[in-house]
Chain A
Amino acid sequence: QVQVVQSGAEVKKPGASVKVSCKASGYSFASYYIHWVRQAPGQGLEWMGWINPNSGGTNYAQKFQGRVTMTRDTSISTVYMELRRLKNDDTAVYYCAREFSGWFDPWGQGTLVTVSS
């Protein structure tokens, strides 16, 4: 079945970087954009950006530009989201999701990133 599976929870110190992976299966990896969305504890959904797995092209939300990089490895149908210079308020669940005909489906299970000294 179509699914995207994310890497496990991470604990990082302020100023560090985190890299979360998202492995796709059950469909043509290169044919659909992958987006990243995060959700801080008790807060709403926040769109971070997308990557085109075919070309590697990216589009980041202005808030994250300069601090986020999305990459892909087509040989293993996996995309990555790296966030640098972490702050306490980057603590959140990070989701990847395939864009299908304008909406997100499926979503990954989410990866909790905790930033704490």
Chain B
Amino acid sequence: SYELTQPPSVSVSPGQTARITCSGDALPKKYAYWYQQKSGQAPVLVIYEDSKRPSGIPERFSGSSSGTMATLTISGAQVEDEADYYCYSTDSSGRVFGGGTKLTVL
């Protein structure tokens, strides 16, 4: 079955840039989406269609995709950005999430 691969964890200091990657063979043809999930809460969409930002999401969140890798970038990460981040995409049989990346900001 199709898989999306993310690093288990990323750690940055406040104000630094955090980059979270997501690799998958179908990403050259399929959009990547990114969700943020804070403890005990439902996920929230932060990036859609590789690089678009929903209304209400801070400008420090951006996305890009090249070849088989999509990247979520948080420029000037804040303490409140500490959360789990999941990439998400589609494949021929349905939908798939990456394994998730725990972002620590301290």
Residue among B31, B45, B48, B95 with max Cβ neighbours from chain A (10 Å) = B95
Task: Enumerate chain B residues within 8 angstroms of A95, measured Cβ to Cβ.
Answer: 42
The answer to whether A109 and B42 touch across the interface, beta carbons within 8 angstroms, is yes
When the two chains form their complex, are residues A103 and B48 in contact, meaning their CB atoms are under 8 A apart? yes
A102 partner, pick from B43, B48, B86, beta carbons under 8 A: B48
| Interface range for B | 20 to 34
**In the complex, chain B residues whose CB is within 8 Å of the CB of A62:** 1, 93
Contact digits for A73-117, partner B, Cβ 8 Å, 1 yes 0 no = 000000000000000000000010000011111011110000000
Given the known interface contacts A102-B48, A105-B45, the answer about A45 and B97 at a Cβ–Cβ threshold of 8 Å is yes
Partner of B95, one of A35, A101, A110: A35
A103 contacts B100, C-beta separation under 8 Å: no
B94, A61: Cβ atoms under 8 Å?
yes
Taking the closest CB of chain A, its distance from the CB of B100, in whole angstroms, is 4
A53 in the interface (beta carbon within 8 A): no
Within 8 A of B (CB), among A45-79: 45-47, 49-50, 59-62
- In the complex, what distance in Å separates the CA atom of A17 from the CA atom of B98? 28
B76 within 8 Å of A (CB atoms) = no
Given contact pairs A44-B84, A104-B43, enumerate 16 new A-B contacts (beta carbons under 8 Å): A44-B97, A44-B98, A45-B35, A45-B43, A47-B96, A59-B94, A61-B93, A62-B93, A102-B48, A102-B49, A103-B48, A103-B88, A104-B45, A105-B45, A107-B43, A109-B42
- The interface of chain B, by Cβ under 8 A from chain A, is 1, 31, 33, 35, 37, 42-43, 45, 48-49, 84, 86, 88, 90, 93-100
